[in-house]
Structure 1
């Protein structure tokens, strides 16, 4: 069985969706959830599914401490699901093409530092975009610039608000993210 490690900074809805998706398969399982936020809701979600949680500081992420913990697990795939810190090069170098991220926009648009969550959705609405979507991509040394693995889009209307866009994006994430992880692990 293949091992997935998930990194998340917030509520953990995508992390939990991945846990649930793989809980009834023989393909893979989420073996650990890492977070940089000691009060993140993802911690409770992980505990509800008996998934070990690693809480770490930004310093531990950068100084090799987190890399050592990952190496002990030896995951087949590292999944960033709402993880807000820039992923360090020392981990990227050890796991080339084994780290993916989900981004709530159609990259290369609305990517980069500071572009996450509601900030993206507000920008999409303010720019009167006719569509938006999700991008699942490999992680490299730059925010949101790794090779794109998958994109899905959704139409927008003039009535959409940042909040309704967020709901549409969440539906796309919940549907496609586990499926793409499954596909990548099968390759």
Structure 2
């Protein structure tokens, strides 16, 4: 597998997967990372790690179609055959979705389909879990399709919601599982 990543901020999942490629736990080659955020820490560390990088955002292109074409071209030119979303906060266009159908994965911080969909990302997900009174949460790795958080589930891990849990405590326990879950899902996808 030749892995590319899209990240909006820190890209912790991408960083974890790059480390697993380099230490032999994942038989894959990390090739590229693009971000819609020019100040994304992920761009800086990916550049230092030797990946091909690009800032590709709506601010640089006339419309969503042009942006979709630019992302697809960047990924194609990088040689990527598998795309991982690592905290990428934008919807993907039809070119990218088509080019990576069945090879485009995302990790979501809940047990999808619960607490997924438009507006459900980051702290909002953990807040919703706590407000709902759920006794468990977790993380889900799924294939990305045109519907937000609607693609087929590849792997899930369950995390208990403990009495008195705070947003930060629950978030930390869920995030601690995401890297290994992604690794497992990518091994199966390969």
TM-score band, normalised by the shorter chain? over 0.9
Correspondence list, 1:73-84, <5 A: 73-84=78-89
Tell me, what secondary structure is at the counterpart of 2:13? Answer: helix
* Cross-structure match for 1:3: 2
Deviation at 1:61, TM superposition (A): 5.9
* Cross-structure match for 2:53: 53
* Cross-structure match for 1:16: 15
Kindly provide the CA deviation profile for residues 100-125 of structure 1, in whole angstroms up to 9, marking residues without a partner as x. 11111110011111110101111111
Structure 2 vs 1, CA of residues 48 and 73 (structure 1 numbering), >3 Å: closer, same or farther?
closer
* Cross-structure match for 2:65: 62
Count of aligned pairs between the two proteins: 184
Question: For 2:157, which of 142, 152, 166 is the aligned residue?
Answer: 152
* Cross-structure match for 2:97: 92
Kindly provide the CA deviation profile for residues 1-22 of structure 1, in whole angstroms up to 9, marking residues without a partner as x. x210011111111110011011
Structure 2 vs 1, CA of residues 51 and 73 (structure 1 numbering), >3 Å: closer, same or farther?
closer
Query: In 2, distance between residues paired with 1:124 and 1:39?
Result: 30
Query: In 1, distance between residues paired with 2:140 and 2:64?
Result: 24
Tell me whether 1:117 sits opposite 2:116 in the alignment: no
Alignment root-mean-square deviation, CA: 1.5
TM-score (norm 1): 0.92
Instruction: Say if 1:133 and 1:153, in contact at 8 Å, map to a contact too.
Output: yes
* Cross-structure match for 1:34: 34
Instruction: Say if 1:128 and 1:158, in contact at 8 Å, map to a contact too.
Output: no
TM-score (norm 2): 0.91
